[in-house]
């Protein structure tokens, strides 16, 4: 359609990239432009989220909009930022190089936001600048001369309040323009580094086949990228260019030239000059702002902890209280569906496969969906109000004591509900090693799938009809504490051995508090929920079918009582096969079946015990199961589930890696099989060793 | 005339001008890119409840950094009037 779009085929919709600093309202704008027409996935090769949506021009033509991860600079410090940089530079084969760039800035914070704009303008692509949050800037007494900015930069500049839908039409009009002027913005590369830039640019054009303007931008970037963050899926530099770059760096190092600093300084010089002409303080703002007042409470040495504790308590209670009814509902629907299939299909293997394999297996995972949705609602709420950054600020010192930083706090907290969203939430951690350590320890936080196992074991542990609440809570707390201290212990260990590196950095903006955008939160919540269903669901479906198969085949000979079927099956054989390994920790082959089957998901242990000990309705009511467990015996007549064994089993479940859905997510998030394999090994190993110590120690003490 | 001080030792609430920060290191490059340059004025807003990290106001927004980084940043306190 437009001659200006350098698209090879006329059929392709022009691609707009949306870039900006974190907290500048990018997602709100993206949602306002694309509505529900968006797709979320991962960039192939990296696990950074890829958000692509369709917007329409004023003439009704489709426009593709890519939402790139928020970044402060093109000199990337995290995989997220590296993706933004690489997409803009056309380094990624899997993403079309954007035809145009929408650059969004926060009007209340123009000076810092313009740094990224300054880098973007170097790219030589048509840019539309969106100055968002004009209302908040006005409230802060700032007057921004949009017309002047447009004049200075020579590109369309749109004043906008994305949260209220103001400026969207003007923006769409600008996006619909067939011609967009290139920026007139020209600045002199500081003399100290200009010859290096020229030489690198020439090499990038000749050896890396880049367009001249992009080559200049890339040359400038190579000089500030001290420890260039590389992500998989991006094309590497040619040998010649890399050689030139190294030669210059060596020379400057010898001369003591601060090349990166010079470059940043000269950009800020231009920006400061520009801002002094653009931004006028209409009135002096007196007294502390609302944000300052909230912060003096929320980060207060006493009240701050109380507030954090309150938020955490609220989060936990909501996960458990609000999720209860939908979880029961899902449980009921799953059972009803299974009953319906039972009623409408002839008895047989296929029917059992569908009800006991597929429906029961997938139902066991889908049941966590309400908890995950609630958790992501809270994370979205905390993030969009700005509290999340405060939580990281308060917790940084504590997390720092094991070598992590405050940003690991929320992912770990989330893992108490379920490690899967927790691991997905580690994406906010820039440092690769910090992120990896957080992912590795996240499953140690006692997730809600362990609860049914704890509850069953506590019930079996204590004689009598009902367990006193205080005892129950006490044992439960002990298990949670074990997992938590274990997690921090391992974080400390990993940071000192396996993932040793520079201490992580904690350079973070504390954004002003803002009212949450419920629509954005809801959209994100649905996306995450869907991702969970897709990732965990497909895998669990497969595993459930396999497990069903292992428990059903081979068939026991005719005439064997049905409760002997398990012993004859592959699962029974596997249980017998691992008995020598688990005997030292007090488990027999029947528990072994439970341990193996709960590889799929821990709570499966309860239903497996129901099957193994042939108890109907083990899910609905643990009482008959408790009785069955208490009457289970070793061949020599000793009781199987002694209090010591129950306790050991709980400890085993605290530490063992028994969640294939988590392993699948870790595989995706780390992009390798190495880490999930390591996790499986170290966690299960620890579980065994600790169980061994507890069980043998307990026996020695006469329990 | 006021003497140079390091950022991590600045009292809470004080105004200062950045004089120098290390040339090397990704953290310091990022701090520069976030607008913390020689000549920039900053205010130390507060320290976290456990004393670390610190929160400063720079170019109109709030930024946190750890004391381990702040130790390397030389500032000149503004003379209070």
CATH of the domain at A79: 3.40.50.300
Q: Do B53 and A300 touch (CB under 8 A)?
A: no
Mean pLDDT of the region A186-207: 84
- CA–CA separation, A110 vs A103, rounded Å? 12
Q: Do A510 and B53 touch (CB under 8 A)?
A: no
* Residue A107 · residue A139 · CB < 8 Å: no
Residue matched to tokens 């790219």: A123
Query: What pLDDT sits at residue A361?
Result: 73
The partner residue sitting opposite A396, judged by closest CB among B31, B34, B48, is: B48
At residue A230, the 3 state secondary structure works out as: coil
Q: Do A109 and B68 touch (CB under 8 A)?
A: no
Q: Do B52 and A397 touch (CB under 8 A)?
A: yes
Query: What pLDDT sits at residue A622?
Result: 61
A118, closest residue in chain B (CA to CA): B33
Residues of chain A positioned with their CB less than 8 A from the CB of B25? 226
Q: What is the pLDDT of residues A59-112, one digit of tens each?
A: 888 999 999 988 999 888 777 888 888 888 887 877 888 999 999 999 998 999
Residues of chain B positioned with their CB less than 8 A from the CB of A431? none
Residues of chain A positioned with their CB less than 8 A from the CB of B33? 72-73, 75, 115, 224, 264
A594 within a domain of the structure (yes/no): yes
For residues A131-148, one letter each, b for 16 or more C-beta atoms within 10 angstroms of the residue's C-beta and e for the rest, the string is bbbbbbbeebebebebee
A42 assigned to a ligand binding site: no
Tokens for B72, please give them: 């390397």
pLDDT band at A6 (very low <50, low <70, confident <90, very high): very low
Contacts of A351 (CB under 8 A, 6+ apart): A341, A342, A345
Contacts by A488-494 with C-beta closer than 8 Å and gap 24+? A488/A402, A488/A441, A489/A402, A490/A440, A490/A441, A490/A444, A490/A682, A491/A402, A491/A403, A491/A404, A491/A437, A491/A438, A491/A441, A492/A402, A492/A403, A494/A437, A494/A440, A494/A441
A67 assigned to a ligand binding site: yes
Q: Do B23 and A400 touch (CB under 8 A)?
A: no
A23 assigned to a ligand binding site: yes
Using alpha carbons, select from A235, A230, A53, A73 the residue that is nearest to residue A671.
A230
- CA–CA separation, A354 vs A680, rounded Å? 29
Query: Crossing angle of helices A369-385/A303-344, nearest 10°?
Result: 150
In chain A, the percentage of residues whose pLDDT exceeds 90 is 22
For residues A233-247, one letter each, b for 16 or more C-beta atoms within 10 angstroms of the residue's C-beta and e for the rest, the string is bbeebbeebeebbee
The partner residue sitting opposite B63, judged by closest CB among A226, A398, A509, is: A509
Residues of chain A positioned with their CB less than 8 A from the CB of B45? 292, 295
Mean pLDDT of the region A194-198: 87
A26 within a domain of the structure (yes/no): yes
Query: What pLDDT sits at residue A1?
Result: 39
A609 assigned to a ligand binding site: no
pLDDT band at A315 (very low <50, low <70, confident <90, very high): confident
| First-residue to last-residue Cα distance in chain A | 81
At residue B27, the 3 state secondary structure works out as: helix
Using alpha carbons, select from B5, B9, B6, B4 the residue that is nearest to residue B51.
B9
Boundary (domain end) residue, out of A262, A285, A308: A285
Query: What pLDDT sits at residue A621?
Result: 57
Tokens for A170, please give them: 């003007």
A4 within a domain of the structure (yes/no): yes
- CA–CA separation, A76 vs A35, rounded Å? 29
* Residue A572 · residue A566 · CB < 8 Å: yes
With 50 as the cut, is the pLDDT of residue A139 above it? yes
Q: Of the ranges A310-324, A684-698, B63-77, which one carries the lowest mean pLDDT score?
A: A310-324
Residues of A with CB under 8 A from a CB of B: 72-73, 75, 77, 108-109, 111-112, 115, 224, 226-227, 258, 260-261, 264-265, 268, 291-292, 295-296, 299-301, 304-305, 389, 393-394, 396-398, 400, 406, 503, 505-512
With 60 as the cut, is the pLDDT of residue A588 above it? yes
Burial of A489 (0-12, 13-18, 19+ CB in 10 A): middle
φ and ψ at residue A181, rounded to 5 degrees: -70, 145
Mean pLDDT of the region A187-210: 84
Query: What pLDDT sits at residue A649?
Result: 93
Q: What is the pLDDT of residues A398-420, one digit of tens each?
A: 888 888 888 888 788 878 877 88
pLDDT band at A10 (very low <50, low <70, confident <90, very high): low
Boundary (domain end) residue, out of A285, A315, A331: A285
Contacts of B21 (CB under 8 A, 6+ apart): B28, B31, B32, B36, B38, B72, B73, B74
* Residue A111 · residue B60 · CB < 8 Å: yes
Which of B41, B52, B56, B59 is the mutation pick for testing A, counting most A CBs within 10 A?
B59
> What DSSP assignment string belongs to A356-373?
IIIIHHHHHHHTTHHHHH
Query: What pLDDT sits at residue A366?
Result: 79
With 80 as the cut, is the pLDDT of residue A178 above it? yes
Helices H, strands E: what count in chain A? 30, 10
With 70 as the cut, is the pLDDT of residue A423 above it? yes
Using alpha carbons, select from A434, A71, A42 the residue that is nearest to residue A221.
A71
With 70 as the cut, is the pLDDT of residue A275 above it? yes
At residue A654, the 3 state secondary structure works out as: helix
Closest Cα of chain A to B38: distance in Å? Answer: 9
Tokens for A649, please give them: 């089993």
Q: Do B30 and A394 touch (CB under 8 A)?
A: no
Query: What pLDDT sits at residue A446?
Result: 86
Closest Cα of chain A to B72: distance in Å? Answer: 14
Query: What pLDDT sits at residue B81?
Result: 45
Total count of domains within chain A:
2
With 50 as the cut, is the pLDDT of residue B1 above it? no
Q: What is the pLDDT of residues A502-547, one digit of tens each?
A: 666 788 899 989 888 888 889 888 887 887 787 666 766 777 788 7
Angle (CA) A204-A18-A86 rounded to 5° is: 30
Mean pLDDT of the region A608-620: 66
Query: What pLDDT sits at residue A2?
Result: 41
Using alpha carbons, select from A87, A65, A61 the residue that is nearest to residue A76.
A87
The partner residue sitting opposite A396, judged by closest CB among B23, B32, B52, is: B52
Query: What pLDDT sits at residue A483?
Result: 92
pLDDT band at A439 (very low <50, low <70, confident <90, very high): very high
Using alpha carbons, select from A691, A665, A689 the residue that is nearest to residue A679.
A665
Residue matched to tokens 């009482």: A623
Q: Do A295 and B32 touch (CB under 8 A)?
A: no
Q: Do B59 and A111 touch (CB under 8 A)?
A: yes
* Residue A131 · residue A102 · CB < 8 Å: no
Q: What is the pLDDT of residues A642-700, one digit of tens each?
A: 889 999 999 999 999 988 878 888 987 888 899 999 999 999 999 999 999 999 999 99
Mean pLDDT of the region A247-260: 85
Which of B35, B37, B56 is the mutation pick for testing A, counting most A CBs within 10 A?
B35
CATH number among 3.90.1580.10, 3.40.50.300, 3.30.1360.30, 2.30.30.90, domain B5-77:
2.30.30.90
A224, closest residue in chain B (CA to CA): B29
* Residue A79 · residue A100 · CB < 8 Å: no
Query: What pLDDT sits at residue A438?
Result: 94
Half-sphere exposure of A293 (CA within 13 A, CB side): 5
Mean pLDDT of the region A439-452: 88
Residue matched to tokens 């940089």: A85
A68 assigned to a ligand binding site: yes
Q: Do B29 and A264 touch (CB under 8 A)?
A: yes
Q: What is the pLDDT of residues A146-166, one digit of tens each?
A: 999 998 888 999 999 988 889
Query: What pLDDT sits at residue B57?
Result: 93
* Residue A201 · residue A224 · CB < 8 Å: no
Contacts of A340 (CB under 8 A, 6+ apart): none
With 70 as the cut, is the pLDDT of residue A7 above it? no
Q: What is the pLDDT of residues A18-34, one digit of tens each?
A: 999 988 888 889 989 98
φ and ψ at residue A17, rounded to 5 degrees: -105, 140
The partner residue sitting opposite A226, judged by closest CB among B26, B37, B38, is: B26
Closest Cα of chain A to B74: distance in Å? Answer: 16
- CA–CA separation, A355 vs A349, rounded Å? 10
Mean confidence (pLDDT) of chain A: 84
Range of the domain at A68: 1-285
- CA–CA separation, A157 vs A568, rounded Å? 74
The partner residue sitting opposite A112, judged by closest CB among B24, B34, B64, is: B34
A19 within a domain of the structure (yes/no): yes
Give the global pTM.
0.82
Query: What pLDDT sits at residue A115?
Result: 94
Q: Do B46 and A295 touch (CB under 8 A)?
A: yes
A264, closest residue in chain B (CA to CA): B33
Query: What pLDDT sits at residue A314?
Result: 85
Boundary (domain end) residue, out of A222, A256, A285: A285
Residues of chain A positioned with their CB less than 8 A from the CB of B46? 295-296, 299
B62, closest residue in chain A (CA to CA): A510
Query: What pLDDT sits at residue B19?
Result: 92
Mean pLDDT of the region A297-317: 87
- CA–CA separation, B52 vs A299, rounded Å? 12
């Amino acid at each position: 359609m437009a001659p200006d779009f350098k698209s090879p085929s006329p059929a392709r919709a022009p691609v707009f990239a949306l870039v900006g600093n974190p907290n500048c309202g990018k997602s709100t704008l993206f949602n306002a432009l694309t509505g529900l027409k968006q797709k979320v996935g991962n960039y192939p090769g990296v696990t950074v989220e890829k958000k692509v949506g369709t917007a329409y021009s004023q003439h009704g033509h489709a426009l593709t909009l890519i939402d790139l991860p928020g970044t402060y600079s093109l000199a990337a410090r995290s995989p997220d930022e590296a993706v933004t940089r690489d997409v803009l530079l056309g380094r990624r084969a899997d993403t079309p190089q954007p035809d145009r760039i929408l650059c969004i800035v926060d009007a209340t914070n123009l000076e810092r936001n313009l740094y990224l704009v300054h880098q973007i303008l170097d790219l030589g692509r048509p840019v539309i600048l969106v100055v968002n949050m004009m209302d908040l800037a006005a409230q802060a007494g700032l007057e921004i001369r949009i017309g002047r900015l447009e004049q200075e930069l020579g590109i369309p500049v749109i004043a906008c309040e994305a949260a209220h839908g103001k400026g969207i039409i003007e923006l769409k009009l600008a996006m619909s323009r067939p011609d967009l002027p290139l920026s007139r913005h020209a600045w002199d590369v500081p003399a100290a580094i200009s010859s290096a830039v020229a030489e690198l640019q020439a090499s990038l054009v000749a050896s890396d086949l880049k367009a001249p303007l992009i080559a200049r931008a890339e040359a400038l970037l190579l000089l500030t990228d001290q420890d260039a963050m590389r992500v998989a899926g991006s094309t590497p530099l040619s040998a010649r260019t890399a050689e030139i770059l190294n030669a210059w760096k060596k020379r400057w190092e010898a001369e003591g030239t601060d090349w990166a600093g010079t470059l940043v300084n000269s950009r800020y010089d231009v920006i400061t000059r520009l801002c002094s002409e653009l931004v006028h303080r209409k009135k002096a703002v007196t007294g502390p702002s609302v944000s300052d007042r909230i912060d003096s409470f929320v980060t207060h040495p006493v009240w701050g902890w109380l507030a954090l504790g309150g938020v955490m308590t609220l989060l936990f209670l909501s996960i458990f209280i609000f999720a209860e009814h939908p979880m029961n509902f899902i449980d009921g629907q799953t059972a009803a569906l299974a009953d319906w299939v039972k009623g409408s299909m002839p008895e047989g293997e296929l029917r059992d496969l569908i009800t006991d394999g597929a429906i029961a297996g997938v139902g066991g995972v889908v049941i966590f969906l309400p908890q995950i949705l609630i958790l992501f609602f809270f994370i979205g709420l905390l993030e969009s109000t700005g509290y999340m950054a405060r939580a990281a600020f308060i917790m940084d010192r504590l997390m720092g004591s094991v070598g992590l930083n405050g940003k690991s706090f929320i992912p770990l907290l989330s893992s108490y509900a379920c490690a899967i969203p927790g691991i997905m939430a580690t994406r906010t951690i820039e440092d690769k090693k910090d992120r990896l350590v957080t992912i590795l320890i996240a499953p140690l936080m006692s997730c809600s799938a362990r609860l049914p196992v704890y509850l069953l074991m506590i019930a079996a542990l204590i004689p009598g009809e009902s367990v006193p609440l205080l005892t129950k809570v006490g044992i439960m707390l002990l298990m949670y504490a074990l997992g938590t201290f274990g997690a921090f212990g391992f974080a400390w260990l990993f940071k000192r051995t396996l993932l040793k590196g520079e201490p992580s950095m904690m350079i973070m903006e504390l954004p002003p508090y803002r009212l949450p955008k419920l629509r954005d939160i809801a959209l994100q919540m649905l996306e995450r929920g869907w991702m969970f269903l897709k990732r965990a669901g497909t895998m669990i479906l497969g595993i459930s079918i396999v497990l069903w198969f292992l428990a059903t085949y081979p068939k026991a000979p005719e005439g064997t009582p049905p409760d002997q079927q398990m012993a004859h099956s592959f699962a029974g054989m596997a249980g017998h096969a691992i008995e020598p390994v688990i005997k030292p920790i007090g488990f027999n082959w029947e528990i072994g079946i439970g341990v193996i089957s709960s590889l799929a998901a821990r709570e499966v242990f309860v239903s497996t015990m129901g099957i193994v000990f042939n108890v109907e309705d083990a899910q609905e009511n643990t009482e008959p199961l408790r009785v069955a467990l208490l009457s289970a015996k070793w061949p020599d007549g000793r009781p199987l589930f002694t209090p010591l064994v129950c306790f050991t089993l709980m400890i085993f479940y605290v530490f063992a890696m028994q969640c294939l859905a988590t392993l699948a997510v870790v595989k995706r998030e780390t992009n390798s099989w190495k880490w999930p394999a390591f996790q499986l090994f170290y966690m299960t190993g620890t579980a065994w060793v600790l169980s061994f110590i507890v069980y043998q120690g307990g026996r020695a003490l006469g329990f | 005339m006021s003497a140079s001080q390091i950022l991590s030792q600045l009292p809470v609430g004080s105004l200062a001008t950045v004089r120098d920060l290390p040339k090397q290191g990704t953290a310091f490059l990022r701090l520069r890119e976030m607008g913390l340059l020689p000549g920039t004025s900053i205010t130390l807003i507060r320290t976290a409840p456990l004393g670390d990290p610190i929160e400063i106001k720079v170019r109109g927004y709030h930024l946190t950094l750890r004391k381990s980084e702040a130790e390397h940043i030389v500032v000149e306190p503004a003379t209070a009037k």
